[in-house]
């Protein structure tokens, strides 16, 4: 049974039993404690905790998940995968244990013809919590399971909670006996490879208190409403039903593994070490496909870093298998075919996905080439000094200067028997981040507030009455004041606190739009609003600095947004939509916004694209945006369901969470139609002007446009005019002749460079002729060794030139060593030498102890000391003699 069919059967089964089928949430999650959805219940967390009233009593979903805590174990074991799908059925105060157990048993054992999975009931084992006699009794009665296949376990295995105070409860897990080939008998406690867990039923019936660990907390009592949360591993069920050994061999991953094996020229199952790399590739390529499809872009922080790490581990695994050519787009195409039956969006977005992956692979190949040489040199130096630890400063240099991820440094250093000073590296990274965030901390100097106190405010008073779409002022009551240490009754002049109001006109930072600025005023207080956030769903918190008097809980204040600030914010946010639409008009639909930020007078927009935009294209995009503003396109806001919005082509940000009704902002109707919660102008002309100020790379396959908007846009153009005037004065040319005059100056510089290059090449050719004339005879072959300075390109050029001057009728070998900071050995073999059995790649690897690579014609290797290169040159004659059989 194919994985897509298993998925469909699950959803159909529960839909027939009154469950609302909820689509998978995107992998990026707005939950501040998570980067990605890592469990099937995550999108339902607000309903399970009681923060938000659930819109349904029963739900079912197949949720995409990513976990990377055990990423180093991927491929080494057959149970770890970074991407997986979790089938789940949920009850919010509706049915409980008996129905959950009956559903799981029925679907698992029901015949295939009747919509089930037809697992053999005699091979199913279950575990229950040691205190849960009710569940034990239900398994006996509902499934007629014998006592020996109902295993009792403790809190560590069969008691669920989220790690913080809140709902908790016992769980019951289903296991399937795969037979003696997979391990010893005796049930799940004896061997969890043989007895594979495939479904976990969580019975949320208690509330836990404060405490740490899996067991160090009190159970406070029964919940007012009991919930069901179950998770069936789709990949595990596929492995069982498809009769394969592990998740890497199911129909959604095995084709990727097989293609990787074909490209590398290896066979899966022939070599345990190669099998690990093949499994890493199969897993990571599928994970990358799903992350890219959901809008995550490779980067250096957060989600982007996780994706970059996954892509680079896949590329490096292919190289370790011996395949050094680009491979990601080939492998991703196979993964697309596997996943499209369940997720059509991976096919729809594949051009964008392939471009981003190819750009990342190209960049990493260059990074790997540079960084490997630096790392190898550093490791050699550490070992030469008798050490076994690479300094944190060296790891930081690799990361900061060469873009070498710390995880890759750790892996590659470990392969050479060296540890890395991780603490030193982390300290340097922390210092860098602190410097980068200094401005933000200065603006938000009040610090974080106590979220537990805020939760109490939300429970007592309910959601904030948010009026940002409708007004700039409200008469509001102060419900709470929260400092970093906890709630306070009053804030005095100069103090910064988080203020919760019963209603507010302030826009809270979200959707790329910065928060509003303004103030609070009352009979005895004045306060500046520094920042506005939503730390909990529905609750708006204002970070305020009291500038006069005192602000106390219970005060009535006038909350007022700075009207100039709001006007600028509206211009910038609408300008972002306009620029996005113009970009897609000029470049096509794959130029899809992958991130944005806007504040009064400024906007930036990130989008996937390989290579920089030409000046002509930038001009076309800017013109398309301003043409829309000149036409004064109407701006409309409509509310509809998410399916209705998708039906009319509204664009959605991947990392946003949407409710039953969504807000669609249209500028010129279908020309710009996006889901958005921001503030906007009423007519496009109110934006004023969009002036592009920068276009840059923010990672492989990702570009960033920046623009000045409104009056700031006019100011930018005025400054550009003044700059042109100064340059024209300096080069003594009229403005109209500036391009020609600058081109003349550049031509002169290029001519000088060409002359210098000609002189260098002449000197190199003279040396090549001299070296060829001093060739020595080794077993009938002409052999030349030499050293040079410069760069690796100079060494390669010299080796090829010498080889070309050797007698064509007899075998010839030229070896050139590049000395200096980055030692390199280049070996070139002529046609007669290759016909006699000589290989440049083989010679390099012999001389450098396995390092290096290339073709039979020319090869090179590095990462060694200058002394090692001298020894390699001295050993060339012996290596040639042995290769020729003498």
Residue numbering of the annotated binding site = 573, 577, 676, 680
Give the Cα separation of 739 and 752 in Å (integer): 20
Give the Cα separation of 286 and 303 in Å (integer): 16
Q: Is the dihedral of CA 356, 358, 362, 368 positive or negative?
A: positive
Which is nearest to 557 in space by CA: 575, 574, 542, 538? 542
Number of helices (H), then strands (E), belonging to the chain: the values are: 27, 34
Cβ-Cβ contacts under 8 Å for 271 (sequence gap 6 or more): none
Give the Cα separation of 827 and 784 in Å (integer): 10
Count CB atoms within 10 A of the CB of residue 825. Answer: 29
Report strand pairing: 518-522 vs 503-504: unpaired
Helix (H) or strand (E) holding 781: strand 781-788
CA atoms within 13 A on the CB side of 327: 29
Q: How is residue 459 written in tokens?
A: 């429970």
Cβ-Cβ contacts under 8 Å for 724 (sequence gap 6 or more): 735, 738
User: How many residues comprise the chain?
Assistant: 886
Q: Give the single-character DSSP code of 226.
A: E
Give the Cα separation of 449 and 826 in Å (integer): 61
Q: How is residue 886 written in tokens?
A: 């003498």
Give the Cα separation of 476 and 497 in Å (integer): 17
DSSP string, 801-856: HHHHHS-TTS-EEEEEEE-SSS-EEEEEE-HHHHHTT--HHHHHHHHTTT--EE-S
Cβ-Cβ contacts under 8 Å for 595 (sequence gap 6 or more): 297, 512, 605, 606
Alpha helices per DSSP H over 597-655: 615-630, 642-647
Give the Cα separation of 708 and 714 in Å (integer): 8
Print the SS3 string covering 113-164.
HHCCCCCCHHHEEEEEECCCHHHHHHHHHHHCCCHHHEEEECHHHHEEECCC
Give the Cα separation of 816 and 828 in Å (integer): 9
* Contact in structure between 656 and 675 (CB atoms under 8 Å): yes
For 858: left if phi > 0, alpha if psi spans -120 to 50, otherwise beta; the answer is: beta
Which is nearest to 382 in space by CA: 427, 422, 421? 421
Binding site, annotated residues for Zn(2+): 573, 577, 676, 680
3-state SS assignment for residue 613 = coil
> What order of strands is seen across the sheet that includes strand 635-641?
635-641, 661-667, 672-675
Which is nearest to 272 in space by CA: 82, 413, 75? 75
Q: How is residue 303 written in tokens?
A: 């989600």
Residue 244 burial by Cβ neighbours in a 10 Å radius (0-12, 13-18, 19+): middle
> How big is the chain by its Cα radius of gyration, in Å?
33
Residue 671 burial by Cβ neighbours in a 10 Å radius (0-12, 13-18, 19+): middle
Which is nearest to 298 in space by CA: 398, 367, 371, 252? 367
């Amino acid at each position: 049974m194919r994985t897509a069919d298993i998925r469909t059967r699950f959803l159909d089964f529960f839909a027939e039993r009154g469950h609302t089928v909820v689509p998978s949430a995107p992998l990026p999650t707005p939950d501040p404690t998570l980067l990605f959805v890592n469990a099937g219940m995550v999108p339902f967390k607000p309903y399970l905790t009681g923060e938000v009233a659930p819109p349904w009593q029963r739900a079912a979903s197949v949720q995409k998940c990513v976990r990377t805590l055990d990423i180093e174990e991927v491929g080494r074991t057959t149970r770890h995968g970074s991407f997986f799908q979790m089938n789940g059925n949920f009850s919010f105060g509706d049915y409980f244990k008996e129905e959950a157990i009956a559903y799981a048993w029925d679907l698992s054992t029901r015949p295939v013809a009747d919509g089930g999975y037809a697992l053999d009931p005699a091979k199913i084992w279950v575990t229950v919590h040691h205190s849960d006699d009710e569940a034990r009794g239900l398994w006996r009665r509902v499934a007629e399971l014998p006592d020996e296949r109902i295993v009792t376990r403790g809190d560590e295995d069969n008691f669920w909670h989220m790690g913080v105070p809140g709902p908790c409860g016992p769980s019951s897990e289903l296991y399937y006996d795969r037979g003696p080939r997979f391990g010893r008998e005796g049930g799940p406690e004896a061997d969890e490879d043989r007895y594979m867990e495939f479904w976990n039923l969580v019975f949320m019936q208690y509330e836990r208190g404060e405490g740490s660990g899996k067991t160090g907390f009190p159970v406070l009592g029964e919940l007012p409403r009991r919930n069901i949360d179950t998770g069936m591993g789709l990949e595990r069920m596929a492995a069982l039903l498809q009769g394969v050994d592990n998740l890497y061999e199911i129909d959604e991953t095995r084709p990727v593994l097989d293609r990787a094996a074909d490209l590398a020229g290896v066979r899966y199952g022939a070599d345990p070490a190669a099998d690990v790399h093949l499994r890493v590739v199969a897993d990571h390529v599928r994970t990358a496909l799903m992350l890219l499809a959901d809008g995550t872009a490779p980067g250096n922080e957060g989600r982007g870093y996780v994706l970059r790490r996954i892509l680079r581990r896949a590329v490096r695994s292919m190289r370790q298998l011996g395949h050094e050519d680009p491979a990601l787009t080939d492998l991703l195409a196979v993964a697309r075919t596997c996943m499209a039956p369940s997720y059509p969006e991976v096919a729809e977005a594949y051009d964008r996905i392939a471009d981003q992956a190819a750009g990342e692979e190209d960049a990493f190949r260059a990074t790997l080439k540079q960084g490997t040489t630096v790392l190898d040199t550093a490791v050699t130096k550490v070992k030469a000094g008798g050490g076994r630890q690479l300094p944190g400063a060296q790891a930081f240099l690799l990361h900061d200067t060469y873009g070498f991820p710390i995880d890759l440094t750790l892996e590659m250093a470990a392969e050479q028997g060296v540890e890395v000073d991780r603490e030193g590296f982390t300290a340097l990274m922390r210092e860098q981040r602190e410097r980068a965030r200094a401005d933000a901390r200065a603006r938000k100097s009040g610090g974080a507030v106590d979220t537990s106190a805020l939760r109490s405010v939300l429970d007592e008073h309910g959601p904030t009455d948010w009026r940002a779409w409708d007004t700039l002022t409200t008469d509001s009551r102060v419900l709470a004041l929260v400092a970093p240490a906890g709630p306070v009754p009053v804030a005095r002049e100069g103090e910064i606190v988080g203020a919760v109001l019963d209603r507010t006109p302030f826009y809270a930072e979200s959707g790329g739009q910065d928060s509003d600025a303004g103030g609070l005023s009352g009979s005895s207080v004045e306060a500046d609003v520094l920042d506005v956030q939503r730390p909990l769903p529905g609750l708006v918190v204002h970070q305020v600095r009291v500038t006069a008097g005192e602000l106390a809980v219970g005060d009535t204040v006038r909350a007022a947004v700075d009207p100039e600030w709001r006007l600028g914010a509206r211009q910038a946010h609408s300008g972002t939509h306009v620029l996005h639409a113009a970009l897609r008009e000029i470049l096509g639909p794959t130029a899809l916004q992958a991130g944005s930020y806007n504040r009064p007078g400024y906007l930036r927009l990130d989008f996937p694209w390989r290579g920089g935009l030409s000046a002509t294209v930038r001009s076309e995009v800017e013109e398309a945006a301003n043409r829309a503003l000149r036409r004064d396109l109407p701006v409309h806001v409509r509310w509809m369901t998410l399916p209705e919005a998708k039906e009319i082509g509204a664009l959605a940000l991947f990392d946003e969470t949407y409710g039953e009704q969504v807000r669609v902002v249209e500028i010129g109707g279908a020309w710009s139609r996006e889901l958005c919660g921001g503030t906007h102008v009423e007519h496009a002309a109110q934006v004023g002007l969009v002036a592009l100020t920068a276009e840059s790379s923010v990672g492989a396959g990702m570009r960033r446009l920046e623009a000045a908007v409104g009056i700031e846009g006019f100011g930018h153009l005025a400054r550009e005019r003044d700059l042109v005037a100064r340059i024209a004065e300096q080069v003594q040319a009229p403005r109209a002749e500036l391009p020609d005059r600058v081109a003349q100056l550049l031509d002169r510089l290029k001519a000088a460079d060409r002359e210098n290059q000609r002189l260098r090449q002449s000197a190199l050719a003279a040396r090549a002729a001299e070296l060829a004339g001093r060739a020595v005879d080794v077993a009938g072959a002409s052999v030349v060794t030499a050293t040079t300075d410069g760069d690796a390109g100079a060494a390669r050029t010299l080796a090829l030139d010498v080889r070309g001057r050797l007698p064509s009728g007899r075998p010839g070998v030229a070896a050139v060593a590049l000395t200096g900071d980055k030692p390199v050995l280049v070996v070139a073999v002529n046609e007669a030498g290759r016909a006699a059995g000589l290989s440049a790649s083989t010679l390099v690897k012999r001389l450098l102890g396995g390092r290096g690579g290339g073709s039979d014609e020319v090869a090179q290797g590095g990462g060694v000391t200058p002394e090692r290169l001298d020894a390699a040159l001295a050993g060339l004659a012996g290596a040639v003699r042995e290769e020729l059989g003498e």
